[in-house]
Amino acid sequence: MYADTMPKQFSMLYNASHIILPFFKLNSGVMKPSCVSSLNPIASIWCVIENMFLAATAEKLAFSMRIPVGIEGANVAKLVNAPENYLMPCYLGLGYLIDNVFTPEQNVYKTEDKIHIEKW
Protein backbone atom coordinates (compact mmCIF):
# COMPACT_ATOMS: atom_id res chain seq x y z
CA MET A 1 0.00 0.00 0.00
CA TYR A 2 2.78 2.43 0.97
CA ALA A 3 4.65 1.90 -2.30
CA ASP A 4 1.49 2.68 -4.28
CA THR A 5 0.33 5.66 -2.22
CA MET A 6 3.47 7.69 -1.50
CA PRO A 7 4.30 8.61 -5.12
CA LYS A 8 0.72 9.86 -5.58
CA GLN A 9 0.97 12.59 -2.93
CA PHE A 10 1.86 15.38 -5.34
CA SER A 11 -0.77 14.41 -7.92
CA MET A 12 -3.47 14.04 -5.26
CA LEU A 13 -2.75 17.56 -4.03
CA TYR A 14 -2.42 18.97 -7.54
CA ASN A 15 -5.75 17.48 -8.60
CA ALA A 16 -7.63 18.16 -5.36
CA SER A 17 -10.68 20.41 -5.54
CA HIS A 18 -9.45 22.28 -2.47
CA ILE A 19 -6.09 22.66 -0.75
CA ILE A 20 -6.16 23.36 2.97
CA LEU A 21 -3.11 24.83 4.69
CA PRO A 22 -3.50 24.36 8.43
CA PHE A 23 -1.40 26.60 10.66
CA PHE A 24 -0.89 26.70 14.39
CA LYS A 25 0.65 29.34 16.62
CA LEU A 26 4.05 28.39 17.97
CA ASN A 27 4.70 28.92 21.62
CA SER A 28 8.22 29.21 22.97
CA GLY A 29 8.40 25.52 23.90
CA VAL A 30 7.05 23.65 20.86
CA MET A 31 10.37 23.18 19.10
CA LYS A 32 12.39 22.81 22.33
CA PRO A 33 9.90 21.51 24.91
CA SER A 34 10.69 21.89 28.58
CA CYS A 35 7.67 19.82 29.63
CA VAL A 36 4.87 17.80 28.02
CA SER A 37 2.41 20.71 28.08
CA SER A 38 4.82 22.70 25.86
CA LEU A 39 3.71 20.37 23.06
CA ASN A 40 -0.01 21.21 23.35
CA PRO A 41 -0.16 23.39 20.20
CA ILE A 42 1.32 20.71 17.96
CA ALA A 43 -0.77 17.95 19.56
CA SER A 44 -3.91 20.06 19.11
CA ILE A 45 -3.32 20.75 15.40
CA TRP A 46 -2.82 17.05 14.68
CA CYS A 47 -6.09 16.29 16.50
CA VAL A 48 -7.80 18.89 14.30
CA ILE A 49 -6.29 17.32 11.17
CA GLU A 50 -7.42 13.86 12.26
CA ASN A 51 -10.97 15.12 12.82
CA MET A 52 -10.93 16.71 9.36
CA PHE A 53 -9.95 13.33 7.86
CA LEU A 54 -12.78 11.62 9.73
CA ALA A 55 -15.34 14.25 8.72
CA ALA A 56 -14.29 14.14 5.05
CA THR A 57 -14.47 10.34 5.04
CA ALA A 58 -17.93 10.43 6.62
CA GLU A 59 -19.05 12.70 3.75
CA LYS A 60 -17.60 10.28 1.15
CA LEU A 61 -14.87 12.75 0.19
CA ALA A 62 -11.26 11.97 -0.56
CA PHE A 63 -8.67 13.54 1.71
CA SER A 64 -4.90 13.51 1.29
CA MET A 65 -1.99 14.84 3.31
CA ARG A 66 1.63 15.69 2.63
CA ILE A 67 4.18 16.94 5.14
CA PRO A 68 6.52 19.66 3.80
CA VAL A 69 10.24 18.92 3.77
CA GLY A 70 13.08 21.26 4.71
CA ILE A 71 12.28 24.95 4.22
CA GLU A 72 9.26 24.16 2.02
CA GLY A 73 6.76 24.88 4.82
CA ALA A 74 8.43 28.19 5.67
CA ASN A 75 8.36 29.19 1.98
CA VAL A 76 4.64 28.44 1.74
CA ALA A 77 3.97 30.35 4.98
CA LYS A 78 5.80 33.36 3.53
CA LEU A 79 3.90 33.05 0.23
CA VAL A 80 0.50 33.17 1.99
CA ASN A 81 1.64 35.93 4.40
CA ALA A 82 1.22 33.82 7.52
CA PRO A 83 2.41 35.50 10.72
CA GLU A 84 6.02 34.67 11.63
CA ASN A 85 5.09 32.73 14.76
CA TYR A 86 2.78 30.29 12.89
CA LEU A 87 3.82 26.90 11.53
CA MET A 88 2.22 24.79 8.78
CA PRO A 89 2.50 21.09 9.66
CA CYS A 90 1.13 19.75 6.35
CA TYR A 91 -0.82 20.29 3.16
CA LEU A 92 -4.32 18.81 2.99
CA GLY A 93 -6.08 17.97 -0.26
CA LEU A 94 -9.86 17.64 -0.30
CA GLY A 95 -11.97 16.44 -3.21
CA TYR A 96 -13.92 13.58 -4.74
CA LEU A 97 -12.52 10.17 -5.58
CA ILE A 98 -11.78 9.58 -9.22
CA ASP A 99 -13.44 6.71 -11.07
CA ASN A 100 -11.52 3.45 -11.25
CA VAL A 101 -9.28 4.41 -8.33
CA PHE A 102 -6.96 1.62 -7.21
CA THR A 103 -7.96 0.39 -3.78
CA PRO A 104 -5.30 -1.87 -2.31
CA GLU A 105 -6.49 -4.96 -0.52
CA GLN A 106 -5.85 -5.00 3.21
CA ASN A 107 -4.09 -7.98 4.76
CA VAL A 108 -6.42 -9.65 7.21
CA TYR A 109 -4.89 -11.33 10.23
CA LYS A 110 -6.46 -13.33 13.00
CA THR A 111 -5.78 -11.96 16.47
CA GLU A 112 -4.51 -15.32 17.65
CA ASP A 113 -1.82 -15.25 14.96
CA LYS A 114 -0.49 -11.92 16.23
CA ILE A 115 -0.48 -12.48 20.00
CA HIS A 116 2.66 -14.11 21.32
CA ILE A 117 2.63 -15.29 24.91
CA GLU A 118 5.98 -16.31 26.41
CA LYS A 119 7.60 -16.49 22.98
CA TRP A 120 8.82 -14.14 20.27
The full 3-state SS of 47-74, as one line of letters, equals HHHHHHHHHHHHCCCEEEEECCCCCHHH
Each domain of the chain, given as residue ranges in start order, spans 2-114
Higher pLDDT, 104 or 65: 65
Task: With beta carbons less than 8 A apart as the criterion, state whether 71 and 49 touch.
Answer: no
Taking 3-state DSSP, the helix, strand and coil percentages for the chain, each rounded to the nearest 5, stand at 40, 15, 45
pLDDT at 99: 80
Any residues with CB less than 8 A from the CB of 58 and at least 6 apart, and which?
Answer: none
Residue among 44, 29, 32 at smallest CA distance from 89:
44
Mean pLDDT of 95-107: 80
Query: Taking the mean position of all CA atoms in its chain, how far away is CA 115?
Result: 30
Higher-confidence position of 1 and 117: 117
Instruction: Please report the pLDDT score of residue 2 as a whole number.
Output: 67
Class of domain 2-114: alpha beta
Q: Which residue has the higher pLDDT, 95 or 9?
A: 95
Task: Please report, rounded to a whole number, the percentage of residues in the chain having pLDDT higher than 70.
Answer: 94
Mean pLDDT of 67-91: 93
- 38, 115 Cβ separation under 8 angstroms: no
The 10s digit of each residue's pLDDT in 8-62 is: 777 888 888 999 999 998 877 677 778 888 888 888 999 999 999 999 989 989 8
